């Protein structure tokens, strides 16, 4: 069964982050420039939150353009759900579905190893299932079954 480690091995461990004292405008620019949906909020080496496109849209809808001057530390999502590298893809997918989140940091203790998105998880789940089906087709094709 595929794990989150499999995803990180394929896509790499790099991730984009922002500091809590950065402005929402700086975060919006980074999300746009990097073409990503979420930033990990790091205070030095410590994970302190997540800031996503959803957070940005909610803020602008509530506060208008003044939201762009707020600091990330004041508006970030602080309840972060992470996974371990050994977490199965199915477990990760279930967590993301249950919590309604699209990005999950991969943690080794308190160290961030990377981030997986719902797209990464779905891609890996499909690839794993296609591989299993191909293997079953070969197995069936090479054996005769009594009728």
Asked if the model's pLDDT at residue 71 lies above 80, the reply is: yes
For residue 144, the model assigns a pLDDT of: 59
Phi then psi for 135, rounded to 5 degrees? -60, -40
For residue 135, the model assigns a pLDDT of: 52
For residue 139, the model assigns a pLDDT of: 53
Cα–Cα distances in angstroms (integers) from residue 47 to residues 35, 81, 109, 126, 134, in the given order:
21, 11, 11, 30, 40
Report the C-alpha dihedral over residues 10, 16, 20, 21, rounded to 10 degrees: 170
Average pLDDT in the chain: 89
Q: Judge contact between 17 and 42, C-beta under 8 A.
A: yes
Report if residue 146 sits inside a domain.
no
Report if residue 129 sits inside a domain.
yes
For residue 117, the model assigns a pLDDT of: 94
Report if residue 43 sits inside a domain.
yes
Report if residue 47 sits inside a domain.
yes
For residue 9, the model assigns a pLDDT of: 94
Report d(CA 16, CA 14) in Å as an integer.
7
The whole domain housing 14 covers 4-141
Residue 36 sits in a domain whose CATH number is 3.10.580.10
Percent of the chain with pLDDT over 70: 86
Query: How many domains does the chain fold into?
Result: 1
Report if residue 147 sits inside a domain.
no
- Segment 13-57, tens digit of pLDDT: 899 999 999 999 999 999 999 999 999 999 999 999 999 999 999
Q: What is the DSSP string of 30-45?
A: HHHHHT-SEEEEEETT
- Segment 79-134, tens digit of pLDDT: 999 999 999 999 999 999 999 999 999 999 999 999 999 999 988 888 766 545 45
């Amino acid at each position: 069964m595929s794990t989150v480690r499999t995803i990180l091995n394929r896509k790499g461990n790099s991730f984009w982050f922002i500091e809590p004292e950065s402005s929402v405008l700086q975060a919006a620019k980074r999300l746009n420039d990097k073409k990503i949906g979420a930033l990990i909020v790091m205070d030095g080496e410590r994970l302190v939150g997540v800031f996503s496109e959803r957070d940005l849209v909610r803020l602008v809808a509530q506060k208008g353009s003044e939201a762009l001057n707020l600091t990330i530390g004041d508006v970030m999502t602080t309840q972060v759900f992470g996974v371990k590298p050994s977490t199965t893809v199915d477990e990760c997918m279930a967590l993301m579905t249950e919590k309604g989140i699209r990005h999950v940091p991969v943690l080794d203790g308190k160290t961030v190893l990377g981030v997986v998105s719902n797209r990464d998880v779905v891609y890996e789940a499909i690839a794993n299932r296609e591989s299993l089906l191909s293997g079953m087709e070969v197995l069936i094709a090479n054996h005769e079954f009594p009728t």
